[in-house]
């Protein structure tokens, strides 16, 4: 396997591992768990929301089309995600995220030019496919770490640091 392909596979494996870790965690977590910023349900909803965007953008890049990008602040878009997925239970969202990850990996494996800009919304900083994968991975792992900390420390700790 040439080095470039191996690097791509390592990045895709890293991201797939992050998605697996987060889906395993949310399969066993109450959606009301609050980490001081968001509930588990809100986090999962927005991870699904953004992964769906990554799949659409990667598909556009794959077929040589200009991606249709969302507009708005991250806070507005994350709120939109919570509203959009409020009727789905956590298990459904976990399954959807897993399916989206499979689709994203498929698209990215077929994409020849990983130096192309992979945006995620209007006005975002330009970065290559590899750079975007690293950013997505870090985003998922940061949310997971915050949720795991909240789960370990319990509600009393959260209330002490984030009073109503």
Question: Residues near 40 by Cβ (< 8 Å), separated by ≥ 6?
Answer: 26, 29, 30, 31, 32, 33, 34, 90, 147
The domains of the chain, with CATH numbers, are 19-26+34-161 (1.20.120)
Give 148's pLDDT tier (boundaries 50, 70, 90): very high
Tell me which of 156 and 59 has the higher pLDDT.
Answer: 59
- Please write the tens of the pLDDT for every residue from 10-23: 999 999 999 999 99
DSSP string covering 9-56, please? Answer: HHHHHHHHHHHHHHHHHHHTS-TT-B-SS-BHHHHHHHHHHHHHHHHH
Sign, CA torsion 139/141/142/148: positive
Over residues 14-73, the pLDDT tens digits come to 999 999 999 999 999 999 898 888 999 999 999 999 999 999 999 999 999 999 998 988
Write down how long the chain is: 164
Give the pTM: 0.89
pLDDT at 1 over 60: no
**pLDDT tens for residues 72-98?**
888 898 888 988 998 899 999 999 999
């Amino acid at each position: 396997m040439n080095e470039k392909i191996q690097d791509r596979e390592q990045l895709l494996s890293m991201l797939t591992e992050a998605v697996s870790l987060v889906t395993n965690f949310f399969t066993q977590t109450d959606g009301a768990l609050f980490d001081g910023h968001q509930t588990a349900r809100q986090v999962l909803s927005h991870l699904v929301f953004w992964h769906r965007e990554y799949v659409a953008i990667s598909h556009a890049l794959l077929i040589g089309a200009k991606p249709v990008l969302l507009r708005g602040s991250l806070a507005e878009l994350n709120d939109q995600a919570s509203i959009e997925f409020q009727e789905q239970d956590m298990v459904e969202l976990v399954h959807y995220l897993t399916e989206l990850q499979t689709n994203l990996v498929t698209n990215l494996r077929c994409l020849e030019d990983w130096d192309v800009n992979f945006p995620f919304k209007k006005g975002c900083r330009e970065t290559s496919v590899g750079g975007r994968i690293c950013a997505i991975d870090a985003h998922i792992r940061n949310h997971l770490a915050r949720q795991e900390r909240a789960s370990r420390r319990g509600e009393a700790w959260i209330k002490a640091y984030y009073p109503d």
